Amino acid sequence: MIGRLSTTAALILTACLASSAAAQEREFRLTPAEIAALPGTGAGPGSSGVAGIQTTVLYGDPTAAGPYTIRIAVPPNTRIAAHSHQDQRTAVVVSGAWYFGYGATAQESLVKPLPPGSYYSEPA
């Protein structure tokens, strides 16, 4: 995965989706104000670990097996090196522009700009 941000505060909602009964355990909903009140951390579990990224866990536990959802805020012009994940990832771009590509190495020709409202997935 290759990522780069172009505007001031892109937020990306990342969800690790697994077909699991755990996803059916409880109803869960948060308003934007409730999300804003949740504690955030640096580049925590479920994120790329790049300095400057802020992570908020919305649901589940990104350190454990099973579904979870995190919100990440990535500073402008951040570059995330090509990497892979052990689980399926899906994301929605909330604000800013997320430049995303697939592949084992960074190749600008494979990068596609994703404006707010865009969706992407990363296979395991």
pLDDT tens by residue, 14-23? 444 444 444 4
Measured between its terminal Cα atoms, the distance across the chain in Å is 11
| Structure token digits, residue 31 | 């308003």
Averaged confidence pLDDT in the chain: 78
Q: Once rounded to an integer, what is the mean pLDDT over residues 77-86?
A: 83
How much is the pTM?
0.71
Confidence band, pLDDT 50/70/90 cuts, at residue 90: confident
Q: Rounded to whole angstroms, how far apart are CA atoms 23 and 4?
A: 31
Q: Once rounded to an integer, what is the mean pLDDT over residues 92-101?
A: 88
Q: What ranges do the domains of the chain cover?
A: 2-117
Pair 1, 87: CB distance under 8 Å: no
What pLDDT is recorded for position 24?
52
What pLDDT is recorded for position 82?
83
Q: How far is CA 16 from CA 23, 64, 78, 82, in A?
A: 11, 11, 22, 18
Q: Once rounded to an integer, what is the mean pLDDT over residues 34-51?
A: 86
Element (H, E) at 90: strand 89-93
Element (H, E) at 10: strand 10-16
What pLDDT is recorded for position 68?
85
Confidence band, pLDDT 50/70/90 cuts, at residue 13: very low
For residue 113, pLDDT beyond 70: yes
Q: Rounded to whole angstroms, how far apart are CA atoms 4 and 19?
A: 30
Q: How far is CA 121 from CA 15, 28, 39, in A?
A: 9, 22, 26
